[in-house]
A and B are shown apart, each in its own frame.
Chain A
Amino acid sequence: MHLKCSLKILFSAFLICLSPGGMVAAQVVVIAHPSVEQENISRAVLLDYYSRDIGLWDNGEPVVVFDLKPKSEVKETFYKYLGKSISRMKSIWMKKMLSGEGDPPEALETEEAVVKKVAATPGSVGFVSQSKVTEAVKVLFVIEPAEKK
Chain B
Amino acid sequence: MKFEDMKLRGKQRLILGFILLIMAGVNIFAIRKMAAIKSEVDELTRNWLPRAIAVSDINLLTADLRRSQLQYAFADDEASKEELRETMIGLIDQINGRLDTYDTLRTEAGQLGIYSEAERELFSHFDQQWEAYQDLSFTFFKLSRENKTGEAADLLNGEAREVYNVFSADLKKVVGGYEKDVFESAKRADLTYRSTRGITISLLIGTIILSIIIATVFVRLVVRPVRELETAAGKIAEGYLDVQLDIGRKDEIGALAGSFNHMAKSLREAKKNMEMQAEKLRAQADKLQKANTELEEKSSILEKQKTEIVQKNLDIYAAMEELRAAQEQLIMKEKMAALGSLVAGVAHEINSPVGTVNSSADVAGRCIHKIETVLEQSRSIEEIRNNQQLSMALKILKESTRATLIAGERIATLVKSLKNFAGLDESAYRVVDVHEGIDSSITLLGSEFMQNIHLVKEYGQIPKVGCYPAQLNQAFLNILKNARQAISGSGTIHIKSFLENAPAKKGKQIHIRFSDTGRGIPPDKLSSIFMFGFSADEKRVKMGSGLSTAYNIVQKHGGDIRVQSEVGKGSAFSIILPIQ
State yes or no: do A and B come from one complex.
yes
On A, residues with C-beta under 8 Å from B are: 1-2, 4-5, 8, 11, 71, 85-88, 90-91, 93-95, 97-99, 103-104
Find out whether the CB atom of A94 lies under 8 angstroms from the CB atom of B113. no
Which stretch, B137-145, B213-221, B274-282, B501-509, touches the partner chain A? Answer: B137-145
Nearest-neighbor residue (CB-CB) of B138 within chain A: A104
Residues in A neighbouring B273, C-beta threshold 8 A: none
On B, residues with C-beta under 8 Å from A are: 36, 85, 88-89, 92-93, 95-96, 99, 110-113, 115, 117, 127-128, 130-131, 134-135, 137-138, 141-142
Find out whether the CB atom of A11 lies under 8 angstroms from the CB atom of B117. yes
Say what secondary structure dominates the interface of chain A: helix
- Give the CA-CA distance A88 to B102 in the complex, in Å: 13
Residues in B neighbouring A90, C-beta threshold 8 A: 131, 134-135, 138
Residues in A neighbouring B130, C-beta threshold 8 A: 87
- Give the CA-CA distance A20 to B115 in the complex, in Å: 25
Residues in B neighbouring A103, C-beta threshold 8 A: 138, 142
For the complex formed, measure the closest distance between the CB of A89 and the CB atoms of chain B, giving whole angstroms.
9
Find out whether the CB atom of A95 lies under 8 angstroms from the CB atom of B89. yes
Residues in A neighbouring B115, C-beta threshold 8 A: 8
Residues in A neighbouring B131, C-beta threshold 8 A: 86-87, 90
Residues in B neighbouring A95, C-beta threshold 8 A: 89, 92-93
Find out whether the CB atom of B92 lies under 8 angstroms from the CB atom of A91. yes
- Give the CA-CA distance A91 to B89 in the complex, in Å: 9
Residues in B neighbouring A86, C-beta threshold 8 A: 131
Nearest-neighbor residue (CB-CB) of B72 within chain A: A98
Q: Given that A8-B117, A85-B127 are known contacts, is A97 also in contact with B134, CB under 8 Å in the complex?
A: no
Nearest-neighbor residue (CB-CB) of A6 within chain B: B113
> Which of A5, A93, A98, A104 is close to B113, meaning CB atoms less than 8 Å apart?
A5
Q: Given that A97-B138, A98-B85, A98-B89 are known contacts, is A91 also in contact with B113, CB under 8 Å in the complex?
A: no
**Which 7 residue pairs of A and B lie closest in terms of their CB atoms, listed nearest first?**
A5-B113, A90-B134, A87-B131, A98-B85, A4-B113, A87-B130, A91-B92
- Give the CA-CA distance A87 to B112 in the complex, in Å: 26
Find out whether the CB atom of B95 lies under 8 angstroms from the CB atom of A91. yes
For the complex formed, measure the closest distance between the CB of B143 and the CB atoms of chain A, giving whole angstroms.
12
Find out whether the CB atom of A87 lies under 8 angstroms from the CB atom of B127. yes
- Give the CA-CA distance A97 to B131 in the complex, in Å: 16
Find out whether the CB atom of B95 lies under 8 angstroms from the CB atom of A2. no
For the complex formed, measure the closest distance between the CB of A8 and the CB atoms of chain B, giving whole angstroms.
7
Residues in B neighbouring A98, C-beta threshold 8 A: 85, 88-89, 92, 141
Residues in A neighbouring B99, C-beta threshold 8 A: 88
Residues in A neighbouring B141, C-beta threshold 8 A: 94, 97-98
For the complex formed, measure the closest distance between the CB of B518 and the CB atoms of chain A, giving whole angstroms.
151
- Give the CA-CA distance A103 to B144 in the complex, in Å: 13
Residues in B neighbouring A1, C-beta threshold 8 A: 36, 113
> Which of B85, B96, B117, B142 is close to A91, meaning CB atoms less than 8 Å apart?
B96
For the complex formed, measure the closest distance between the CB of A86 and the CB atoms of chain B, giving whole angstroms.
6
- Give the CA-CA distance A59 to B364 in the complex, in Å: 211
Residues in A neighbouring B117, C-beta threshold 8 A: 8, 11
For the complex formed, measure the closest distance between the CB of B113 and the CB atoms of chain A, giving whole angstroms.
4
For the complex formed, measure the closest distance between the CB of A118 and the CB atoms of chain B, giving whole angstroms.
21
Find out whether the CB atom of B138 lies under 8 angstroms from the CB atom of A93. yes
- Give the CA-CA distance A94 to B138 in the complex, in Å: 7
Residues in B neighbouring A93, C-beta threshold 8 A: 134, 138
- Give the CA-CA distance A88 to B95 in the complex, in Å: 10
Q: Can you list 17 pairs linking A and B with CB atoms under 8 Å apart?
A: A1-B113, A4-B113, A8-B113, A8-B115, A8-B117, A86-B131, A88-B96, A88-B99, A90-B135, A91-B95, A91-B96, A94-B141, A95-B92, A98-B85, A98-B88, A98-B89, A103-B142
Q: Given that A4-B113, A5-B113, A88-B99 are known contacts, is A94 also in contact with B92, CB under 8 Å in the complex?
A: yes
- Apart from A5-B111, A90-B134, list 16 A-B contacts with CB within 8 A: A1-B113, A8-B117, A11-B117, A71-B128, A85-B127, A88-B96, A88-B99, A91-B95, A91-B96, A93-B138, A94-B141, A95-B92, A95-B93, A98-B85, A98-B88, A98-B141
- Give the CA-CA distance A94 to B112 in the complex, in Å: 35
- Give the CA-CA distance A4 to B110 in the complex, in Å: 11
Nearest-neighbor residue (CB-CB) of A85 within chain B: B127
Residues in A neighbouring B137, C-beta threshold 8 A: 94
For the complex formed, measure the closest distance between the CB of A54 and the CB atoms of chain B, giving whole angstroms.
20
For the complex formed, measure the closest distance between the CB of B294 and the CB atoms of chain A, giving whole angstroms.
110
Nearest-neighbor residue (CB-CB) of A93 within chain B: B138
- Give the CA-CA distance A103 to B127 in the complex, in Å: 21
Residues in B neighbouring A85, C-beta threshold 8 A: 127
Nearest-neighbor residue (CB-CB) of A3 within chain B: B113
- Give the CA-CA distance A80 to B99 in the complex, in Å: 16
- Give the CA-CA distance A106 to B89 in the complex, in Å: 21
Residues in B neighbouring A71, C-beta threshold 8 A: 128
- Give the CA-CA distance A75 to B238 in the complex, in Å: 109
- Give the CA-CA distance A139 to B117 in the complex, in Å: 39
